A and B are shown apart, each in its own frame.
Chain A
């Protein structure tokens, strides 16, 4: 595959890609730790997630700056342009996903102050799915694989379904015993955060399709009206 004649430019683009993947890895670790903090009732882990979020935010700023620099100095065109504009958007989603991980960690802290509820396997499964969506979306981004991106987009249905199940389970718990309400609500919120996490991963996948194909496939239903 041809590389840019200007090696410095080639290096800048490569560095940007690496930074994005690094940030994605941090977010993956964050969501994984935050759910473990709930399941294993690990307060220290939850605190750790909150501290590490600062690193994620720093990376957002750094990546934004790198993108702006390339735009100003290199006038990127075609695939390079699509890559940069995608990177600018991906970074927003990743940062939000990091915030969602922090939200889940806060639910963990809250839950750990009270005696444990019956373990909900579906929540753990939801977490695994959400984390897997992010991993697959980042993979699609790195390899430019539209097929993988489409798998992610289809997988969002499963996450929604699982979230609904957890939601209903929590409702049942709350109806069973009023003392459960506070803790069930926390878990419900955690599940919601994970469902949103999955949505962001789907966004990422849609942007990968634009980056590779050059066609904007977002909001298909809104388009038809125009």
Chain B
């Protein structure tokens, strides 16, 4: 008697035959990828393989780049993110992003975390304070900064700044969090804290993380997608990608035979 195969988790976001060009050059070709709800998907691949471009398409940050165009479908909860009911601003409230180099505003810690809420229209001071505290707790930063919320965010260490950026992104309570190499500029201890945080966050958020560091992808993700030259070569459960990938190119990349 064989164990029943569990039904696949519903896809929070999905792309179908996505193609992204910068002018004439295609950066992402024919990528169809499911991003399961409340799981961590890691995107790996060598430099220039299109993984960051793909990530930025998910919250339409590519719209800001002149000359960028996209074909194919990107779906959030089975509805296209380009549909008229959802403008880019509203989309970005549901799909948040944490960038590679931490970029806190030159404002106080409180103002940084409250920023997204304020531009969203929340004015009540008590509500703001409450949401800020919750987000900072969610990012495992509250205890370190609760006595200095009014101080400049730029006074924090690199790892703290990145966690602040995560708290800032979480404050608006998105459904999906996109992370572009969130720990690449951090030391090993700070990296470990971020990875631990990701592990806690996935109970509530769908997370997509781009990383150069294969071991980080292996540690942190449920599903790994390997990109090469703009194409999605292989996607599968992380354990399978790192013990027994199906594609030779994936095998070569993962074992360090590229180059």
| Pair B252/A2 contact, Cβ less than 8 Å | yes
Q: Is A19 an interface residue when CB atoms closer than 8 A count as contact? A: no
| Pair B257/A77 contact, Cβ less than 8 Å | no
Whole-angstrom CA separation of A214 from B239 in the bound complex: 12
Q: With A77-B218, A226-B3 as given contacts, are A82 and B256 in contact (CB-CB < 8 Å)? A: no
| Pair B242/A81 contact, Cβ less than 8 Å | yes
Whole-angstrom CA separation of A83 from B251 in the bound complex: 13
| Pair B242/A77 contact, Cβ less than 8 Å | yes
| Pair A9/B245 contact, Cβ less than 8 Å | no
B218, closest chain A residue (CB): A77
| Pair A75/B215 contact, Cβ less than 8 Å | yes
Q: Which of B208-250 touch A at CB < 8 Å?
A: 214-215, 218, 241-245, 250
User: Which A residues are in CB contact (< 8 Å) with B241?
Assistant: 78
Q: Is B1 an interface residue when CB atoms closer than 8 A count as contact? A: yes
Q: Which of B55-83 touch A at CB < 8 Å?
A: none
| Pair B244/A5 contact, Cβ less than 8 Å | no
Q: Is B84 an interface residue when CB atoms closer than 8 A count as contact? A: no
Whole-angstrom CA separation of A77 from B251 in the bound complex: 8
Q: Is A222 an interface residue when CB atoms closer than 8 A count as contact? A: no
| Pair B259/A82 contact, Cβ less than 8 Å | no
Q: With A224-B1, A226-B3 as given contacts, are A80 and B244 in contact (CB-CB < 8 Å)? A: no
Q: Which of A109-151 touch B at CB < 8 Å?
A: none
Q: How many residues of A contact B (CB 8 A)?
A: 19
A226, closest chain B residue (CB): B3
Q: With A75-B215, A77-B214, A226-B3 as given contacts, are A3 and B244 in contact (CB-CB < 8 Å)? A: no
Q: With A2-B257, A4-B257, A224-B1 as given contacts, are A82 and B243 in contact (CB-CB < 8 Å)? A: yes
CB distance from A82 to the nearest CB of B (A): 7
A83, closest chain B residue (CB): B255
Among B1, B243, B259, the residue within 8 A (CB) of A77 is B243
CB distance from B229 to the nearest CB of A (A): 16
Q: Is A48 an interface residue when CB atoms closer than 8 A count as contact? A: no
| Pair B243/A5 contact, Cβ less than 8 Å | no
Q: With A82-B244, A214-B243 as given contacts, are A77 and B255 in contact (CB-CB < 8 Å)? A: yes
Provide the A93-107 mask, 1 if CB < 8 A to any CB of B, else 0.
000000000000000
Whole-angstrom CA separation of A88 from B215 in the bound complex: 22
A1, closest chain B residue (CB): B257
Provide the B6-20 mask, 1 if CB < 8 A to any CB of A, else 0.
000000000000000
Q: Which of A143-187 touch B at CB < 8 Å?
A: none
| Pair B3/A79 contact, Cβ less than 8 Å | no
| Pair A5/B242 contact, Cβ less than 8 Å | no
Q: Is A76 an interface residue when CB atoms closer than 8 A count as contact? A: yes
Whole-angstrom CA separation of A81 from B255 in the bound complex: 9
Provide the A185-226 mask, 1 if CB < 8 A to any CB of B, else 0.
000000000000000000000000000011100000000101
- Residue numbers of A with Cβ under 8 A of B are 2-6, 9, 75-82, 213-215, 224, 226
- Residue numbers of B with Cβ under 8 A of A are 1, 3, 214-215, 218, 241-245, 250-252, 254-259
25 A-B residue pairs with CB within 8 Å: A2-B258, A3-B257, A4-B255, A5-B257, A6-B256, A75-B215, A76-B255, A77-B242, A77-B243, A78-B241, A78-B242, A78-B243, A78-B244, A78-B245, A78-B255, A79-B251, A79-B255, A80-B255, A81-B243, A82-B243, A82-B244, A214-B243, A214-B244, A224-B1, A226-B3
